[in-house]
Amino acid sequence: MDALRNPYTPGAGTPPPALTGRDPELEQFNLLLGRLEAGRPEQSLLITGLRGVGKTVLLDAFEGIAIERGWYASFTEITSDTRLAKVIATMAREALLDLRRIERVKEAARRALAILKAFTISTGIGLEIRVELDVEEGIADSGDLGRDLGDLLTVVGEVAIEGGRGVVFLLDEVQYLGRRDFEALIAGMHRASRRSLPITVVGAGLPMLPRLAGEAKSYAERLFVFPHIGALSDEAARVALVEPAAEEGVTIEPEALERMLAYTGRYPYFIQQYGKHAWLTGKNDVIDVDAVERAHELVRSVLDADFFHVRFERATALEQRYLAAMATLGDGPRSSGDVTRALGYASTTETGTIRDSLIKKGLIYSPRHGEVDFTVPLFGDFMRRRHTLEGLAAD
């Protein structure tokens, strides 16, 4: 069928035609903003989930909700080179420049910008703030990042409340923050949360976030909740596939839909891929079993090449063998001891560096101490089909 009218949107952070199955998280976010508006404390959200489940799309939706409620919202994707101080300072600067347009907070915003300037100087992040530095010393300039971030969030929150608005900073890929930065973020949130001001930081990242947070600061679970998102419910997955087609006057036959649900495992990214290709192979405004089967072949090669293979390629030969060993143990979390044995080593100390490097590259994560799993849904299946342990050993 006509590619021009194709409603499905496989991609990274590409808004789906129908954002289904995420009402609980959207409600949670609304509640968070509502409570902060009312001057009540509320735990912030760190959304967790595997690759391609819709974390970025959800953060985008949060941004939309915040703006609609009159909040100032800003979105940043963390990378392994990111310095948290710079990210927060940049967002704080934008927020203050925006708030400054409200006449009655002009002076408060100017003072906050001066404090921000002191922060940028003490952290040495080289962000230019054009404002006189005439503030009292001792706010956001101690050199202890957690403390200073807390001060900074507090000052911005004070300006926001005076202006009758709120400020939310959205951070994607939070697992890439270095340990010290992550610790400082939590400590800063802790310090700022004492005042119940309308300012918060909401994030998303891979499923190891709750563990990282707990390791960084024992009180992290009192500051954040960690909603986990994954495959859609049966109902939500059906709507995600059927509704966009129906809006274009296209029908998905019942048996065709069942197969799409099975092939996609109800994972959002796969849903968009199958939707897109079944649309292209469908004829006369109908997606039937035949169209889905032809799409299945296409999607598999697209996913193998674009989704799985690019990640596999990021691993060194040794790391690729580790991935293959994980795949031989079936799906779901496996103990690193079992993986080590499957590789033919005696002790996990011999595979520790390989494992850590794979975690750093974002290919695997550790759901619990001593366990590993893939960050990409269906990756084990890909490895078993394309790169077996025996095959890799022979290379």
Ligand X SMILES: Nc1ncnc2c1ncn2[C@@H]1O[C@H](COP(=O)(O)OP(=O)(O)OP(=O)(O)O)[C@@H](O)[C@H]1O
* For ligand X, the closer CB: 53 or 209: 53
* For ligand X, the closer CB: 8 or 119: 8
DSSP category for residue 175? G
* For ligand X, the closer CB: 182 or 269: 269
Render 211-244 in DSSP notation, one character per residue.
HHHHHH-TTHHHHEE--B--SPPHHHHHHHHHHH
Phi and psi at residue 368, to the nearest 5°: -140, 165
* For ligand X, the closer CB: 159 or 271: 271
210, interface contact from Mg ion, ligand X, none, CB < 5-8 Å by kind: none
> Looking at 1, 6, 7, 10, which residue binds ligand X (CB under 6 A)?
10
* For ligand X, the closer CB: 157 or 268: 268
> Looking at 1, 33, 36, 57, which residue binds ligand X (CB under 6 A)?
57
Contact 45, 28 (CB under 8 A): yes
Smallest distance, Å, CB 107 to ligand X?
40
From 14-22, 156-164, 216-224, 346-354, give the range in contact with ligand X by CB under 6 A.
Answer: 14-22
| Distance, CA of 328 to CA of 333 (rounded, Å) | 12
What's the token pair of residue 265? 């495992």
A 10 A CB-CB count for 246 gives 14
| Distance, CA of 333 to CA of 73 (rounded, Å) | 36
Contact 123, 85 (CB under 8 A): yes
Smallest distance, Å, CB 205 to Mg ion?
9
> Looking at 1, 6, 7, 20, which residue binds ligand X (CB under 6 A)?
20
Element (H, E) at 311: helix 310-313
* For ligand X, the closer CB: 119 or 279: 279
Strand 167-172 to 44-48 pairing = unpaired
> Looking at 1, 6, 7, 21, which residue binds ligand X (CB under 6 A)?
21
Residue carrying structure tokens 């799985």 = 308
17 to 76, contacts with Mg ion by CB under 5 A?
Answer: 55-56
- CA angle at 300 for the pair 56 and 5, rounded to the nearest 5°: 65
53, interface contact from Mg ion, ligand X, none, CB < 5-8 Å by kind: ligand X
Site string for ligand X, 219-258 (x = CB under 6 A): ---------------------x------------------
* For ligand X, the closer CB: 139 or 241: 241
Smallest distance, Å, CB 337 to ligand X?
28
The β-bridge partners of 46 are 203
| Closest CB to ligand X: residue number | 54
Cα–Cα distances in angstroms (integers) from residue 116 to residues 111, 163, 315, in the given order = 9, 18, 41
Smallest distance, Å, CB 254 to ligand X?
20
10, interface contact from ligand X, Mg ion, none, CB < 5-8 Å by kind: ligand X
Q: Which residues have C-beta within 8 Å of that of residue 361, sequence separation ≥ 6?
A: 314, 315, 319
Nearest CA to 206 out of 386, 30, 358, 33 is that of: 358
Contact 70, 183 (CB under 8 A): no
Smallest distance, Å, CB 250 to ligand X?
17
259 to 318, contacts with ligand X by CB under 6 A?
Answer: 268-269, 271-272
Smallest distance, Å, CB 142 to ligand X?
35
Count of residues that bind ligand X according to CB under 6 A: 24
Which residue ranges make up the site for Mg ion (CB under 5 A)?
55-56
Which residue ranges make up the site for ligand X (CB under 6 A)?
9-14, 16, 19-22, 49, 51-57, 240, 268-269, 271-272
